[in-house]
Amino acid sequence: MQKKLSLYCPLVIMIVISSSCANKTESPSNLELLSAIENAFVDIATKAKPAIVGIFAGHTNRELNRAGSGFFYRGDGHILTNDHIVRGADYYRVRLLDGTELDAKLVGADIITDIAVLKVNREEVFPTLPLANSEKVKVGQFAVAIGNPFQLEYSVTTGVVSGKGRSVPLGLQFIRHQNFIQTDAWIHTGSSGGPLLNIYGEVIGINALIRKVENTPAPVRAGAGFAIPSNMVNSIGDQLIAHGKIIRGYLGIRMREVQDGIRVTFVRSDTPAYRAGMRRNDVIVEYNGEKIRKSVDLMMLIAESQVGKKAVIKILRSGKDRTLNVIIDEIPPELAGIPYEDDSVSWKTLGLAVRKLEKHDFERYTYLTEEDSGVVVERVKIDAPGYNAKIPRGSLILKVNGKEIPDVAALEAILQLEQEAEELEVEIKSSFGVEQVTVNLPKE
DSSP string, 273-312: HHHTT--TT-EEEEETTEE---HHHHHHHHHTSPBT-EEE
Q: What CA–CA distance (Å, rounded) separates 268 from 275?
A: 10
Give phi and psi for 315, each to the nearest 5: -130, 165
Q: Facing residues of 397 across strands?
A: 375, 428
Q: Indicate the burial class of 46 (C-beta count within 10 angstroms; 0-12, 13-18, 19 or more).
A: exposed
Q: What CA–CA distance (Å, rounded) separates 53 from 126?
A: 11
Catalytic-residue membership of 395: no
Q: What CA–CA distance (Å, rounded) separates 342 from 345?
A: 9
| C-beta separation of 45 from 156 below 8 A | yes
Catalytic-residue membership of 114: yes
Which is catalytic among the residues 84, 188, 361, 395?
84
Which is catalytic among the residues 83, 110, 114, 282?
114
Dihedral, CA atoms, 60, 62, 67, 71, nearest 10 degrees? 80
Q: Indicate the burial class of 172 (C-beta count within 10 angstroms; 0-12, 13-18, 19 or more).
A: exposed
Catalytic-residue membership of 297: no
Which is catalytic among the residues 192, 346, 395, 430?
192
Alpha helices in 295-402 (DSSP H): 295-303, 345-350, 361-364, 385-388
Active site amino acids: 84, 114, 192
